[in-house]
Chain A
Amino acid sequence: MNKFKVLKNEQITEETFMLRFDRPLLEIKSGQCFNLGLPEIGINREYSMYSSEKSKYLDFLIRAVEDGIISSQLQRLQIGEYVDIDGPYGEFCIQNPNNIKTKYLFIGTGTGIAPFHSFIKTYPKLDYKILHGVRYEKDQYHNDHYPKDRYSACISKPDFGSGIRVTDKLEKENFDSDNMKFYLCGNKNMIADCLDILHNKNVSGDQIITEVFF
């Protein structure tokens, strides 16, 4: 049984929060996910690691979803309470982080920004840009963690003015796709739409890595 004590439960917005635990002594790669569940409940859900793989902590950015049995209970956790954690799993990782020629476009919606946050904390020299699709301005979680020229929020329902979706932004984005990798993380419909856009921009499937939230 892998029980981990909650060290921090930071409420970021009404629905979104960050849970912190001690990092287990395992080989972990940025971009991987873990299964989180509550002791004795017997149900778990997958969440991507939010922290650096080098951090002494294991952080998760979680949104309490409507009718979500696990996420809503995780949100109510107090410091000192325990969570079952299994993992890490997955290969949504940076393949050659030392290759300085590669540029990255990270596209995520909501808490789908978690693995990208982990990437940039682990590999500070990455040449990247983030397109973050969110509904409201308040959903730009920890946007001060990214240089302004590398983080671009696409707010569909802003406080003022008309909204923009991450797919709209991607359509307008100009890039030379040579030496670029495209990482997509989040809602399945957003990913399907982004893939269509990227294909229309002649980006090869070999350059695209996806992690679908469900």
Chain B
Amino acid sequence: MKIAISYPPIINEYGQKAMVSQNRNVQYFREPTYLLPITHAQAATSLKLMGFDVYWDDGNAQLKSFQGWLDDLVSEKPDIVVFESTTPVMKFYWNTINLVKKFMPKCIVILTGYHSMRMPEESIKESQVDVILRSSNVDFDLRRLVPFINKNSNWRETFNGEGFLIRGSKEIKSTGNFRHVEKLDDSPLINRDLVNWKDYAYENGNFLQTPGTYATSVIRDCMFGKCTFCRYNGPDLTFSMMSVEKSLDEYENLINNYGVREIFDDSGVWYRGKEARLFAQGIIDRGLNKKGCYFGINTRFEYLDEETIKLMAEANFRFVLLGYEAADNETLMRLNKGYQLEHVENCLKWLTKYGLHPHLTIMVGYYWQTKEQLQRTVDEVRRIMFSGLARTLQVTLCTPLDFTPYHKECIEKGVLLTKDYDDHDMSKLIVKTPIEHSEYYAAVREMYSIAYHPKFILRQILFLFNFRKKDWQFLFTYSIRAIRRVRQHVFNLTRSENKQLTKKIPAKNS
């Protein structure tokens, strides 16, 4: 049996590709970042280990056109195709599923992803999809489902594994909600050759050095899991953690056998406390900090203390991504962020003191955000960047997605301005706000303009002089990539201000 794990290329009329961006939402960029979908890569590895023929089919990272991708898929003749969906590309996926079914009527199409898992009936109705997964544990789910399909021709009627919506011959069958805390150690480390790791090794804004790669995430979902806007929030999600030793083994393999020069763990929030210290010490004990490889993580303010940060610096950690959603406590409280502004500075001081590279991810355009709150965020971000407490930043428009608590709240309060999923692509604000949308766009541009300010550039150069390692290649390669990305964000905003709606090129039916 052959299983294709497929990511069709999605390109809009501006020639931009749909890419996973902040908070793992889809955004369109001309200069793409190719992110390895970790859980799906683990699913592919799991199935391969079980003896199935796996076709890793990322049309985006493999630089295919839509037609080229489709032709290749059809010629591979998979028995099962697995797609991953999210709100802004739902219509595209429904069309693509129907197209796949047209060319390969016997092929079983499985839809995964945060949107369809929360609205499974919708995708069954809108497309010819066969199975919807109601959990984010795609690897564990497929490990249960695929062997059953392989052995049972009447699987649609007889499969009872929990957490699926299945199109039967006569009716739609639900096997209930899925609430499981899988032991993450029971899912394999990613088979890098299977997923063509080099396709993802260069074009990624999170890498200071290349080739880089994403580690098999040490945390599934989020250990906090309560931020209202984030997709790692909801009763259907929980949290599980990989053992430190297993993760260290993977890092050792990636550095020694694949020559990787940067490893980023894209877990929503990486280890903290004891596990963080054990991991950093393990890197040092294995001598992996002497191999010229940088390590990067996502974390939260108030999760890492100075002692841990110092140890991480010694272990050669560099890029640290922090969600700094707003600079006012009311917004942080409404978002359930769980930290206090007063402590942001402490954390950033520790990170920069030990030579780490804090990258801030900022959002604007909450439906309650006033002019004062917005200005406070702009002022605070400017102060942080000019004072050298953070190295880089990313600003996005807060877009309610995938039936997160924030999305539901927007619907309940009647502030959502559109029902068209295409409009959820983060290119424009889609909620009613107390001030004009143009003011939020201007704020985003103002924050990005910091990157071009002489004071900031001087800060960056001074930072390099003080670095424990003279990272001059960073100044050229990373800065060029960062500036390119800034231009993309500004392009998207300009497009929004001109009130041009983004229209994706639909999957053609012939």
Footprint of B on A, CB under 8 Å?
Answer: 1-2, 35, 37, 40-46, 65-69, 84, 86-87, 89-91, 188-189, 191-192, 195, 199, 204-206, 208-210, 212, 214
B180 at the interface (CB under 8 A from A): yes
Q: Is B484 an interface residue (CB 8 A)?
A: no
What 1/0 mask marks residues of chain B from 178 to 201 whose CB sits below 8 Å from any chain A CB?
111111000000000000000000
> In the bound complex, how far is the Cα of B223 from the Cα of A119, in angstroms?
23
- Which residues of the partner chain A approach B183 to less than 8 Å between Cβ atoms? 188-189, 192
* A35: B residues at CB distance < 8 A: 302, 338-339
Say whether B466 faces chain A, with CB atoms less than 8 Å apart: no
With A86-B339, A212-B239: A192-B182 Cβ-Cβ less than 8 Å = yes
Quick check: A69 and B273 within 8 Å, CB to CB? yes
Take A42-B302, A68-B273, A86-B340 as given contacts and tell me if A209 and B162 are in contact as well, using a CB distance cutoff of 8 Å: no
Listed from nearest, the 5 A-B pairs whose CB atoms lie closest are A42-B346, A42-B343, A205-B179, A89-B226, A44-B302
B215-241: CB near A (< 8 Å → 1, else 0) gives 000000001101000000001001111
- In contact, B339 and A214 (Cβ under 8 angstroms): no
Q: Across the interface, do A205 and B163 meet the contact criterion of CB distance under 8 Å?
A: yes
5 contacts between A and B (CB under 8 A): A69-B307, A205-B162, A206-B177, A209-B235, A210-B179
User: What is the bound-complex CA distance between A9 and B303, given in angstroms?
Assistant: 24
A146 to B46, CA, bound (A): 45
Chain B nearest CB from A110 CB (Å) reads 16
Q: Does residue B357 face the partner (Cβ distance < 8 Å to A)? A: no
B158 at the interface (CB under 8 A from A): no
Does B434 reach chain A (CB closer than 8 Å)? no
**Assembled-state Cα–Cα distance A189/B238 (Å):** 13
* B181 x A204 contact (CB < 8 A): no
Query: How long is the Cα–Cα vector from A188 to B221 in the complex, in angstroms?
Result: 13
Q: Given A191-B181, A205-B178, A37 and B302 touching (CB < 8 A)?
A: yes
Instruction: Name the contact of A43 in the complex, choosing from B163, B176, B305, B336 (C-beta under 8 A).
Output: B305
- Chain B residues with Cβ below 8 Å from A199 are 162
Report yes or no: A89 in contact with B238, Cβ–Cβ below 8 A: no
A214 touches B162 (CB 8 A): no
- B343–A192 contact, CB under 8 A? no
Q: Which residues of B contact A192 (CB under 8 A)?
A: 180-183, 240
> Counting CB contacts under 8 A, is B171 at the interface?
no
Min Cβ gap B1→A in Å is 26
B176 touching A206, Cβ below 8 Å: yes
- Contact status B338-A86, CB under 8 Å: yes
CB of A1 within 8 A of CB of B340, answer: yes
Q: In the complex, are the beta carbons of B338 and A214 less than 8 A apart?
A: no
For residue A39, which residue of chain B has the nearest CB?
B342
1/0 per residue B283-314: CB within 8 Å of A? Answer: 00000000000000000011111010000000
The answer to whether A46 and B224 have CB atoms under 8 Å apart is yes
Knowing A43-B303, A188-B241, A192-B182, say if A214 contacts B223 (CB, 8 Å).
yes
Residue ID in chain B nearest A214 by CB atoms:
B223
Residue in contact with A89 in the complex, picked from B162, B273, B336, CB distance below 8 Å: B336
Interface members, chain B 236-259 (any A CB < 8 Å) = 238-241
**Bound form: Cα–Cα A40–B302 in Å:** 11
Bound-state CA distance A195–B176 (Å) is 15
Query: Inside 8 A of B238's CB, which chain A residues have their CB?
Result: 191, 210, 212
Whether the pair B277, A87 counts as a contact (CB closer than 8 A) is: no
- Contacting residues, chain B, for A66 (C-beta < 8 A): 274
B166 within 8 A of A: no
* A43 cross-chain contacts in B, Cβ below 8 A: 302-305, 343
A44 to B223, CA, bound (A): 13
B132 within 8 A of A: no
B70 within 8 A of A: no
Flag B462-491 by CB within 8 Å of A: 1 or 0 each.
000000000000000000000000000000
Contact A37-B226, Cβ < 8 Å, known A188-B181, A212-B238: no
Do the beta carbons of A67 and B273 come within 8 Å of each other? yes
Are A67 and B274 touching (Cβ within 8 A)?
yes
A81 to B163, CA, bound (A): 48
Chain A residues whose C-beta falls within 8 Å of the C-beta of B226 in the assembled complex: 89-90
Instruction: Check if B347 is an interface residue, CB within 8 A of chain A.
Output: yes
| Cα–Cα, bound, A37→B301 (Å) | 12
Q: Which residues of A contact B346 (CB under 8 A)?
A: 40-42
Residue contact A91 to B180, C-beta cutoff 8 Å: no
The docked-state distance in angstroms from the alpha carbon of A69 to that of B226 is 23
Contacts of A195 in B (CB 8 A): 179-181
Q: Are B176 and A205 in contact (CB under 8 A)?
A: yes
B344 nearest CB neighbor, chain A only = A42
Q: What is the minimal beta-carbon distance from B173 to any residue of chain A, in angstroms?
A: 14
Given A69-B305, A188-B239, A1:B342 Cβ within 8 A: yes
